[in-house]
Structure 1
Amino acid sequence: MNPWTEFVRALTEPLGDHRPPLSTARRPWIRMLPHGLVLLAAASLLPTGIVTLQRFYGVDPALATALATVQAGVLPVALTRPLLAWQLTVPSVLVGAVATHGAAAEQPWPWPVTTLLSYLFLMVFLAVRERGRTLFAVWVVTFVGCSLSWTVFTAHFDGSSVVATALSGVLLLLGWSLRGRGEARRRLAEQERISETERARRTLLEERARIARELHDVVAHHMSVITVQADSAPYRIEGLPPAAVEEFGQIAAAARGSLAEMRRLLGVLRAAGTAPDKAPQPGLDDLPTLLATVGQAGVRAELAVEDGVSALGPVPEAVGLSAYRIVQEALANVVRHAPGAAAEVRLRAAADGALGLAVRNGPPPGRAADRAGAAVETSGGTGQGLVGMRERVRLLAGTLDTGPTADGGYLVTAVLPLDGTGPGPDSGESTA
Structure 2
Amino acid sequence: MERAARWRSRTAGLSPYVLDTFLAVCSAAVSVWAVYNDDTDWPWWVYLLAVSTALFLPWRRRASLLLLIVGSLPSLVLSVVAHSANPQVPLYAVIGMYTVAERFSDRQRWAVLAVVVVANVIGTHSPNGALFSVLTSVGGFVCGSLVRTQRQLALVQAERAREAGERTASEAARAVAEERARIAREMHDILAHAVSLMVIQAEAGPLVVRSNPDRAVRAFDTIADAGRDAMVQLRRVLGVLKDPEAGRELAPQPGLAELADVAERVRRAGLRVELELADGLGAVPADVEAAAYRIVQEALTNTVKHSGADRVAIRVRRAGEVLEVVVSDNGRGVPLAADRTVSGWSGGRGLVGIRERAAACGGRAEAGPGPAGEGFLVSARLPLGAAGVVERVGG
TM-score normalised by L of structure 1: 0.42
- Normalising by structure 2, what TM-score? 0.45
Instruction: From the CA coordinates, give the structure whose radius of gyration is larger.
Output: 2
